[in-house]
Amino acid sequence: MGPFSKRKKIIQNNINKHQNYKIKEAIEQLKKYSLVNLVETVEVVIKLGKKKVLNKVIKNTLNIPYGLETNKKNIVFVKTKELKENEIKSLLKLGVDTLSLDEINNAKNKYKIHYILCESKSADILRQAHLKAKVYMINNENLTKNILNKVNEIKKGKITYCVNKHGRINTVIGKITFSIKEIKRNLKALIKDALIKKSVCNTSNISDIYISTTMGPALRLDKCEVRFL
């Protein structure tokens, strides 16, 4: 085995991997010793009790309070018909621009758009032309309400987590640049969805729970604190 890097030596000398950390303390440690030139993701691993073996893999989708793409807020609605003045005002209040198909496909706009809301007729064309943008179909009945729901969903952010047959949950809940409050709230949303709702089990079945960053250490959290999130 080769020599340890400077970063790994610093982590080994300052972090006790066998300690049970409070959530706030663990996040502070991860932030302090994030010594790489990239924005690391914050990941959580939840291990259920040894006796907890599932018959199949469970996949769930969850809206978290603070999404991983919070910097991408450029949302556009495709104007395929004349909108009423009150509809345009409502869209602007939601932070949604209205553009025609030609304006969206304009070279100046093509790479600045992150989310496109449109009718079903335009969806396939837009998906082919805008590979980097996410295209969502909107029902024109009760237009403003449907767009409001979709915009709120985009701004909240969505993650998919998987529970394997041995009762292990491993997913991303944020980025190291998020505040302690934001990471904690995302963790709370995951615990509530997967455990408190008993879609997998309940909090008394947790064997271990770890929080880590992309290239950082895994810190074991205090299970007692997790149960009272």
What single string gives the DSSP state of each residue in 172-227? Answer: EEEETTS-HHHHHHHHHHHHIIIIIT-SS--GGGEEEEEEEETTS--EEE-HHHHH
The pLDDT value given to residue 143: 73
pLDDT of residue 72: 56
**What per-residue confidence (pLDDT) applies to 156?**
73
pTM for the full model? 0.67
Tokens 């880590």 — which residue? 212
User: String of b and e for 77-100 (b: at least 16 CB within 10 Å)?
Assistant: bbbeeebeeeeeebbeebebeebe
Per-residue pLDDT of the chain (229 residues; tens, 9 = 90+): 455 677 677 777 778 778 899 999 999 999 988 877 888 899 999 887 655 556 667 778 888 888 876 555 577 777 766 677 777 777 777 777 777 777 777 756 666 777 888 877 777 777 777 767 778 888 777 777 787 788 877 777 778 888 887 778 889 999 999 999 999 999 999 888 877 655 565 556 778 899 999 888 889 999 888 766 6
Q: What is the pLDDT of residue 227?
A: 67
Domains parsed from the chain with CATH numbers: 15-68+157-227 (3.30.190.20), 75-155 (3.40.50)
CA–CA distance, 154 with 115 (Å, rounded to integer): 8
Quote the pLDDT of residue 129: 75
Please say whether the beta carbons of 103 and 78 come within 8 A: no
Q: What local confidence, expressed as pLDDT, does residue 36 receive? A: 78
pLDDT digits (tens, 9 = 90+) for 54-90: 666 777 888 888 887 655 557 777 776 667 777 777 7
Q: Give me the pLDDT at residue 228, please.
A: 62
In angstroms, the CA 147 to CA 77 distance is: 9
